[in-house]
């Protein structure tokens, strides 16, 4: 099965000049979706598509009536404050609109005159969550992260035996997910020092980030029905960057027996742009399971998943401290990793989530879990980089960190590259920690 089509052609150029510049996250081969409006305006949020350093206003596109059939139906649905209706229309509509947008934005397009008025500079806009996230499940798909964290919390038994059989996840809190630019107070809760007889209450001292991808569901399934692994990706609308902030000292005290609670539900931050699954087709790669490990049960196994179920999405993390901002200094890079290291694929997550009859709704989101690679410098959290707070991380300006401090801003970026195809990116997700209330 080929996922590549004319929209991925590396030779495509856009009449939007900035989309043709080397290194842009948003060439014509990308075309991600967001909900936006002009800054400091009373405008209603509506759907937009990134092209170069501009946003294509889908309200103007819908009103222009230059598309037809499924593409026009799709752009009218995407002209809304939230993209849930469009996301729920399914793959045929997503692809029809992507193809129509690609052709309309190419050099020589007959629609250039009609669409030039639809462009708004990204520097002049603000974003909302792209959709209503009704439910959110966070998975735990990096075996490198799971092993590293397990060795800190359970030195004698770091990787529990079910990890290699079951895509592990927990039901997260959707109400505290916000779009990039989110700032939040340092969370408070119970912690217990190893030498203390009783727990204490107060602001967390071990605040951390988690480098993840968010995976948005499109067309859902009925309660009681399951989604097969062969059909799973037709339900996945697209991907974003996701920072699932974590209070590690709260987590260490509360996570047994039922898993994360206050350590995770205080804030999570997503990047504004949803890069569609179709746009990511050139960056697929094979997925494999070590021969010494248990192989997936039949419902989690398919030839297509083996051949092209993984995605090589590169991600990195930067930290900007308050001192760096005051000095107008560049943020300090902490680590870089790739989603290709994931132990479980997106299709396996979707399939396992619904195998018991659980129903998805358009806009539901899955977190990939922290994406750490096999090397220490590829760790997706400070918990791993500082080896549980035992080692100090020195930043570019000489400041030191083991965990995050008030005023710190965490910046995560993502991009994809492959021979014979254009580089595309996700933009960034940023969030800043405020003092505890």
Whether the pLDDT of residue 409 is over 90: the answer is yes
Q: Which CATH architecture has domain 136-434?
A: Alpha-Beta Complex (3.90)
Q: pLDDT-based confidence at 191, cuts 50/70/90?
A: very high
What's the pLDDT score for residue 230?
A: 97
Cβ-Cβ contacts under 8 Å for 45 (sequence gap 6 or more) = 35, 36, 37, 81, 82, 128
Q: How much is the CA Rg of the chain, to the nearest whole Å?
A: 22
Give the model's pLDDT for residue 43.
96
pLDDT of residue 231: 97
Tell me the C-alpha distance between 129 and 211, whole Å: 19
* pLDDT tens digits along 323-335: 999 999 999 999 9
Task: For residue 379, count other CB atoms closer than 10 A to its CB.
Answer: 27
Other Cβ atoms closer than 10 A to 306: 15
Position 1 pLDDT exceeds 60:
no
Determine the pLDDT at residue 25.
98
CB 10 within 8 A of CB 420: yes
d(CA 273, CA 126): 12
Mean pLDDT (the chain) is 96
Burial environment of residue 329 by CB neighbours within 10 A (0 to 12, 13 to 18, 19 or more): middle
Q: Which of 55-69, 156-170, 309-323 has the lowest mean pLDDT?
A: 156-170
User: How far is residue 154's CA from residue 161's CA, in Å, rounded to a whole number?
Assistant: 13
Domain coordinates of the chain in residue numbers? 6-128, 136-434
Q: What is the band of 229 on the pLDDT scale with cuts at 50, 70, 90?
A: very high
Mean pLDDT of 15-40: 98
CATH superfamily of 6-128: Fumarylacetoacetase, N-terminal domain (2.30.30.230)
Mean pLDDT confidence for 202-224 = 98
Domains 6-128 and 136-434 share a fold: no
* pLDDT on residue 250: 96
> Pseudo-torsion of CA 109, 113, 114, 119, nearest 10°?
100
6: confidence class by pLDDT, cuts 50, 70, 90: very high
Res 105 pLDDT > 70: yes
Strands 182-185 and 424-434: parallel
pLDDT at 163: 95
The stretch 104-108 carries a mean pLDDT of 98
Q: Are 90 and 218 in contact (CB under 8 A)?
A: yes
Residues 133-176: pLDDT tens digits?
999 999 999 999 999 988 887 888 889 889 999 999 999 999 99
Residue-level pLDDT at 112: 97
Q: What is the pLDDT of residues 244-265, one digit of tens each?
A: 999 999 999 998 888 889 999 9
Q: How confident is the model at residue 39 (pLDDT cuts 50, 70, 90)?
A: very high
Provide the annotated active-site residues.
145
* Phi, then psi, of 214 in degrees rounded to 5: -100, 140
């Amino acid at each position: 099965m080929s996922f590549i089509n004319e929209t991925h052609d590396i030779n495509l150029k856009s009449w939007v000049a900035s989309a043709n510049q080397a290194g842009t996250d948003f060439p014509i081969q990308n075309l991600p979706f967001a909900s936006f409006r002009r800054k400091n305006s009373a405008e209603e949020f509506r759907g937009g598509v990134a092209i170069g350093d501009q946003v294509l206003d889908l309200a103007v596109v819908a009103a222009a009536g230059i598309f037809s059939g499924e593409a026009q139906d799709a752009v009218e649905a995407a002209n809304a404050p939230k993209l849930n209706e469009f996301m729920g229309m399914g793959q045929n509509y997503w692809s029809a609109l992507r193809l129509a947008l690609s052709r309309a934005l190419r050099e020589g397009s007959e629609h250039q005159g009609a669409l030039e008025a639809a462009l708004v500079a990204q520097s002049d806009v603000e974003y909302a969550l792209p959709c209503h996230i009704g439910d959110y499940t966070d998975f735990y798909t990096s075996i490198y992260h799971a092993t590293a964290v397990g060795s800190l919390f359970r030195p004698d038994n770091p990787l529990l035996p079910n990890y290699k059989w079951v895509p592990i996840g927990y039901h997260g809190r959707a109400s505290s997910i916000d779009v990039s630019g989110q700032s939040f107070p340092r969370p408070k809760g119970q912690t217990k020092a190893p030498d203390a007889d009783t727990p204490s209450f107060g602001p967390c001292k071990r605040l951390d980030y988690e480098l993840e991808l968010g995976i948005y569901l499109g067309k859902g399934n009925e309660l009681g029905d399951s989604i097969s692994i062969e059909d799973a990706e037709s339900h996945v609308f697209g991907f974003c960057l996701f920072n699932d902030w974590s209070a590690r000292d709260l987590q260490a005290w509360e996570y047994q027996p039922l898993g994360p609670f206050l350590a995770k539900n205080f804030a999570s931050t997503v990047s504004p742009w949803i890069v569609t699954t179709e746009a990511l087709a050139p960056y697929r790669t094979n997925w494999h399971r070590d021969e010494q490990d248990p192989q997936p049960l039949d419902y989690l196994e398919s030839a297509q998943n083996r051949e092209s179920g993984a995605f090589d999405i590169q991600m990195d993390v930067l930290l900007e401290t308050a001192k760096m901002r005051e000095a107008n200094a560049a943020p300090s890079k902490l680590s870089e990793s790739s989603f290709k290291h994931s132990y479980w694929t997106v299709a396996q997550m979707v399939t396992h989530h619904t195998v018991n009859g659980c129903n998805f709704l358009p806009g539901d989101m899955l977190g990939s879990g922290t994406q750490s690679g096999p090397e220490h410098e590829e760790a997706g959290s400070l918990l791993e980089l500082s080896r549980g707070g035992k080692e100090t991380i020195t930043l570019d300006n000489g400041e030191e960190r083991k965990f995050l401090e008030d005023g710190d801003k965490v910046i995560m970026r993502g991009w994809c590259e492959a021979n014979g195809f254009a580089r595309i990116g996700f933009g960034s997700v940023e969030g800043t920690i405020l003092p505890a209330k």
